[in-house]
């Protein structure tokens, strides 16, 4: 049975039994403690913890998940993968244990011809929490399981919680006995014999503080008991498809087959190659799904994980012997399998592949550059007599050049070195902690929202800002540091919730409105507006006058100019997006945006920089749309209707069943959007593109001004052109040629100055060679050249001086200069000096230490530098002193 069919049957079974089919949430998680959704119940957490009221009592879904902790285990075990799918059925205070067990057992054992999975009942077991006698009796009565096929396990294995105080409860798992070849009889802890594939969580208790999976106190029972189940789709697939592991199911194995064809290596022949094949297949599929959900390769958070997955796949193909670009061969194979369950991938594949292929090309360049850095690090380690590459160097290769640590370890082993992996892990941990702290600062997540929920229970905040900029309202409540407060006085900054408001809360890339809230004797300045929980609009205000209290009748008014400019910017973003797609094609899809009054920026999928002609064309298409006075309208419909209508959704966003579609000029621009907009495109005003840049592999950013800000920008540009024209005494249209001519003349003058300076430096060679200092029989030249001499010219001077000195006497030449505030030193030795066992590399490290830096090189010539010019004289003196010590020592 194909994986897509297993998925379809699950959703159909529960839909037929009154469950609402809920689409998978996007892979990126809104939880600040997680990068990606890692469980089927992820999008239902607000219902389970009481933050929101569920719109249905029963639900079913197949949730896309990525677990990053398993990356290093991929390919080594039969069931660890980064991307996986979790089938689930959920009850929010409706049915409980008996129905959950009944549904699960029926679907698992029902014959395939009747829509079930057809598992043999005789090899199925159930595990239960050891104190859950109710579940044991239900498994006996509903499923007919005898006592010897019901296993009691402890809290660690069969009790669920989120890891924090809140809902929890016992679990019950369905296991299958795969036979004695997979492990010992009734060994529940080790091996793969008794494989759990469906977990039923009976969410009935409230837990207290405590770490780990067990030992925390159970405080009582929930007022409403819930069901949360998770069936591992990939596990069921490899059980029903008769293969040994998840890598060999229909959604994954074709990539292994193609990788085998490309590499000429056979899957199943060598364990080390098998691990690499599995890494390739798993990571290619994971990358396909992550990019499909709007994640782009980068150096932070989810983008970093995606980059690591892609680079591990590419590296594994190289280790399998395939040196050419591999994603172009493998990604389409993964698409063919995954589009059966996720048909939206196919029309978006142009963008997805563009991002992936650009990352591979970047990594191929990185391998070249990073290998050079690695080689230098190896030479330095060996010259210092070390046998271990420093953890800091491994981290630099990983963080700056994208080298996976296993790649560094492998390359170091080839050079006879180990790697300080503990030091590397320590630096990685510090980086992760910084990233998590940053994420927590940016997201509200599941922090304490009890104050917001208390006010939310009084009703939904009505947003009137689409129709009006001023509303008469009433203060429903106010909060100080997230907790409900009785009042606030002049000078305080608090949060206010109104019955209704015209103020737009920040979302969809549009920042919040500004304005005032006033009443008799009370004046509030609105600083920010947010939606901390669904249905509640919260205003952050500064009390300018009076005393603020709940129940106060107020007049809330948005700053008119602010809103007009904000509407221009948001509508301008849609116009620019449509213009991009018209000029570049449908693959140039928005991946993020930000707009505020008069300014917009738009990130979009594209692998190369836009030349000036293309930027000008996009700007012209956008301004033509503005000039055509296209109608702008918004209407509500279901999410499937919006997609059928061709409306574009922002990657990574979660939408309600009813969505708002903003249309500009009919099908020319249709996007899901909750923002505020102009009524006609002409109201956007002037639009000028001010910049285009890269924000990651396969992602570009356009920036633009609109309305008055665009005119002001153009005015500044015009004044600048006029000033330059006057100073250079030329007409504006001749300015580019004039500037280019001046730049070329300047470059020529700089080259001539460098030539003259080099000549002056080298002219000193004869005099320096004629006047060496005798240091216990060694001819020593220690010379500080004029400031501004680069390393190349210093090297030429040192070699020239060495060539002029007597070959039968040992000679050491040390020349130093400060260039751009940084000192550099070169040391050269003749053959006789090396026969005296002097080494340039040893001497240059002595000098570089005085300069606050490092150095290295061969025995005859070495070079170094530092950051402290004040140590220049000490550096030359230290070289002389060291020569004396070595010769007399």
In DSSP terms, 863 is beta-bridged to 826, 856
- The angle, 0 to 180 degrees and rounded to 10, between the axes of the packed helices 301-319 and 349-383 is 70
Interatomic CA distance for residues 519 and 643, integer angstroms: 45
Helices 349-383, 391-401: inter-axial angle, 10-degree rounding: 150
pLDDT at 442: 43
Average of per-residue pLDDT values in the chain: 89
Per the CB < 8 A criterion, the answer to whether 849 and 816 are in contact is no
Coarse DSSP helix, strand, coil percentages of the chain, rounded to the nearest 5 percent: 45, 25, 30
Q: What's the chain's length in residues?
A: 889
Q: Which CATH number fits domain 764-888: 3.20.20.70, 3.10.310.40, 3.40.50.2000, 3.40.190.10?
A: 3.10.310.40
User: Which residues of the chain fall short of a pLDDT of 50?
Assistant: 439-446
At 673, list the tokens.
């959007």
Instruction: Name which of 594, 593, 592, 458 is nearest 533 in CA terms.
Output: 458
- The alpha carbon of 148 is separated from its chain's Cα centroid by a whole number of angstroms, namely 48
CATH code for residues 450-558: 2.40.30.130
The CA R_g of the chain, rounded to the nearest whole Å, is 34
**Helices assigned H by DSSP within 585-669:** 612-627, 639-644
User: Residue 303: helix, strand or coil by DSSP?
Assistant: helix
Tell me the two tokens of residue 110.
Answer: 């029902």
Does the annotation list 677 as a binding residue? yes
Residue 138 buriedness (CB in 10 A; 0-12 / 13-18 / 19+): buried
Nearest residue to 464 (alpha-carbon basis) of 455, 473, 476, 456: 473
Tokens coding 519: 């009443």
Phi (first) and psi of residue 767, to 5 degrees: -65, -40
Residues 621, 581: contact at Cβ < 8 Å? no
At 445 the pLDDT is 41
> Residue 621 and residue 599: Cα distance in Å, rounded?
18
From first CA to last CA, the distance across the chain in angstroms is: 81
Secondary structure string (H, E, C) spanning 23-84: CCCCCECCCCCCCECCCCCHHHHHHHCCCCCCCCCEEEEEEEEECHHHHHHCCCCCCCCCEE
- Pairwise CA distance, residues 764 & 692, whole Å: 50
Phi then psi dihedrals of residue 603, to 5 deg: -95, 140
Q: In this structure, what token pair is assigned to residue 761?
A: 């430096």
DSSP for 554-583, written as a single string = EEEEE-HHHHHHHHHHHHHHHHHHHHHHHH
570 is in an annotated binding site: yes
**Is residue 853 a contact partner of residue 844, using CB atoms and an 8 Å limit?**
no
Beta strands in 208-258 (DSSP E): 218-232
Question: What pLDDT score was predicted for residue 443?
Answer: 42
State both tokens at 520.
């008799």
The order of strands in the sheet holding 658-664 is 632-638, 658-664, 669-672
Name the DSSP class of 143: I
Q: 881 labelled as ligand-binding?
A: no
d(CA 52, CA 469): 28
Residue given tokens 């910049």 in the structure block: 691
CATH topology of domain 3-243: BirA Bifunctional Protein; domain 2 (3.30.930)
120 Cβ contact partners less than 8 Å away, ≥ 6 residues apart:
none
Q: What is the 3-state secondary structure (H, E, C) of 714-773?
A: HHHHHHHHHHHHHHHCCCHHHHHHHHHHHHHHHHHHHHHHHHHHHHHHHHCHHHHHHCCE
CATH architecture designation of domain 563-716: 2-Layer Sandwich (3.30)
398 is an annotated ligand-binding site residue: no
Amino acid 188: pLDDT: 76
The tokens for 725 are 């024209």
Name the pTM for this structure.
Answer: 0.67
Tokens describing residue 700: 């570009």
Bridge pairing between strands 778-784 and 811-819: parallel
Cα angle: 310, vertex 312, 316; to 5 degrees: 120
Question: How high is the pLDDT of residue 441?
Answer: 47
């Amino acid at each position: 049975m194909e994986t897509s069919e297993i998925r379809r049957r699950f959703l159909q079974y529960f839909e037929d039994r009154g469950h609402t089919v809920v689409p998978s949430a996007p892979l990126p998680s809104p939880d600040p403690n997680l990068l990606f959704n890692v469980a089927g119940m992820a999008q239902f957490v607000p219902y389970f913890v009481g933050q929101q009221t569920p719109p249905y009592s029963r639900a079913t879904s197949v949730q896309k998940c990525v677990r990053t902790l398993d990356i290093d285990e991929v390919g080594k075990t039969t069931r660890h993968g980064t991307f996986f799918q979790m089938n689930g059925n959920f009850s929010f205070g409706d049915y409980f244990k008996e129905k959950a067990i009944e549904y699960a057992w029926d679907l698992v054992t029902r014959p395939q011809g009747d829509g079930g999975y057809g598992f043999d009942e005789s090899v199925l077991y159930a595990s239960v929490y050891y104190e859950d006698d109710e579940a044991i009796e239900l498994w006996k009565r509903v499923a007919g399981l005898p006592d010897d096929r019901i296993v009691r396990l402890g809290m660690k294995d069969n009790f669920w919680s989120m890891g924090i105080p809140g809902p929890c409860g016992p679990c019950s798992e369905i296991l299958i006995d795969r036979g004695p070849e997979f492990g010992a009889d009734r060994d529940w802890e080790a091996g793969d014999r008794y494989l759990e594939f469906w977990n039923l969580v009976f969410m009935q208790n409230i837990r207290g503080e405590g770490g780990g999976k067990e030992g925390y106190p159970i405080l009582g029972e929930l007022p409403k008991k819930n069901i949360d189940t998770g069936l591992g789709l990939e596990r069921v697939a490899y059980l029903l498809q008769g293969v040994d592991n998840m890598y060999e199911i229909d959604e994954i194995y074709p990539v292994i087959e193609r990788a085998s064809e490309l590499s000429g290596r056979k899957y199943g022949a060598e364990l080390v190659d098998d691990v690499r094949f599995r890494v390739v297949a798993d990571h290619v599929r994971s990358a396909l799904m992550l990019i499909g959900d709007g994640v782009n390769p980068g150096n932070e958070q989810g983008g970093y994980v995606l980059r690591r997955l892609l680079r591990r796949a590419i590296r594994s193909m190289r280790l399998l012997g395939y040196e050419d670009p591999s994603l172009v061969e493998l990604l389409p194979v993964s698409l063919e399998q995954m589009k059966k369950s996720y048909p939206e991938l196919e029309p978006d594949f142009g963008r997805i592949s563009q991002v992936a292929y650009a990352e591979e090309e970047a990594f191929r360049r990185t391998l070249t550059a990073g290998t050079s850095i690695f080689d230098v690090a190896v030479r330095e380690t060996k010259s210092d007599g070390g046998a271990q590459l420093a953890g800091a160097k491994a981290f630099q290769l990983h963080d700056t050049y994208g080298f996976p640590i296993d790649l560094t370890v492998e390359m170091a082993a080839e050079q006879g070195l180990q790697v300080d992996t503990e030091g590397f892990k320590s630096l990685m941990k510090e980086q992760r902690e910084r990233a998590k702290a940053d994420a927590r600062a940016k997201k509200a997540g599941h922090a304490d929202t009890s104050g917001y929920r208390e006010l939310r229970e009084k009703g939904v905040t009505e947003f009137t800002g689409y129709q009006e900029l001023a509303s008469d309202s009433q203060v429903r409540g106010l909060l100080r540091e997230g907790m409900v407060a009785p009042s606030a006085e002049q000078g305080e900054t608090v949060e206010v919730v109104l019955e209704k408001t015209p103020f737009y809360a920040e979302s969809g890339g549009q920042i919040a409105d500004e304005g005032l809230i006033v009443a008799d004797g009370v004046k509030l300045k609105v600083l920010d507006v947010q939606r901390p929980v669904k249905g509640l609009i919260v205003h952050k205000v500064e009390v300018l006058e009076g005393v603020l209290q709940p129940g106060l009748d107020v007049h809330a008014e948005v700053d008119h100019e602010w809103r007009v400019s904000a509407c221009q910017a948001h509508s301008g973003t849609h116009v620019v997006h449509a213009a991009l797609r018209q000029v570049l094609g449908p693959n140039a899809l928005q991946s993020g945006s930000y707009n505020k009054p008069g300014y917009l920026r738009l990130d979009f999928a594209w692998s190369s920089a836009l030349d000036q002609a293309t930027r000008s064309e996009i700007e012209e298409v956008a301004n033509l749309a503005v000039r055509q006075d296209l109608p702008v309208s918004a209407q509500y419909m279901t999410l499937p209707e919006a997609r059928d209508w061709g409306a574009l959704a922002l990657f990574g966003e979660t939408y309600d069943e009813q969505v708002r579609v903003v249309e500009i000029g009919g099908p020319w621009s249709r996007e899901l959007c909750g923002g505020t907009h102009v009524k006609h495109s002409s109201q956007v005003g002037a639009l000028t593109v001010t910049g285009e840049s890269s924000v990651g592999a396969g992602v570009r950013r356009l920036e633009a001004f609109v309305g008055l800000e665009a005119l002001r920008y153009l005015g500044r540009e015009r004044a600048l052109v006029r000033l330059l024209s006057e100073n250079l005494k030329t007409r504006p249209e001749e300015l580019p040629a004039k500037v280019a001519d001046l730049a070329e003349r300047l470059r020529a003058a700089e080259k001539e100055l460098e030539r003259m300076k080099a000549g002056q430096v080298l002219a000193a060679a004869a005099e320096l060679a004629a006047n060496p200092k005798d240091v216990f029989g060694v001819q020593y030249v220690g010379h500080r050249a004029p400031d501004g001499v680069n390393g190349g010219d210093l090297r030429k001077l040192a070699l020239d001086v060495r060539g002029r000195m007597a070959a039968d006497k040992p000679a050491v030449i040390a020349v130093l200069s400060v260039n751009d505030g940084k000192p550099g030193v070169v040391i050269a030795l003749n053959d006789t000096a090396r026969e005296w066992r002097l080494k340039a590399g040893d001497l240059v490290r002595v000098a570089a230490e005085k300069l606050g830096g490092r150095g290295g090189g061969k025995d005859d010539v070495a070079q170094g530098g530092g950051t402290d010019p004040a140590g220049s004289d000490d550096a030359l003196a230290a070289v002389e002193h060291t020569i004396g010590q070595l010769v007399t020592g």
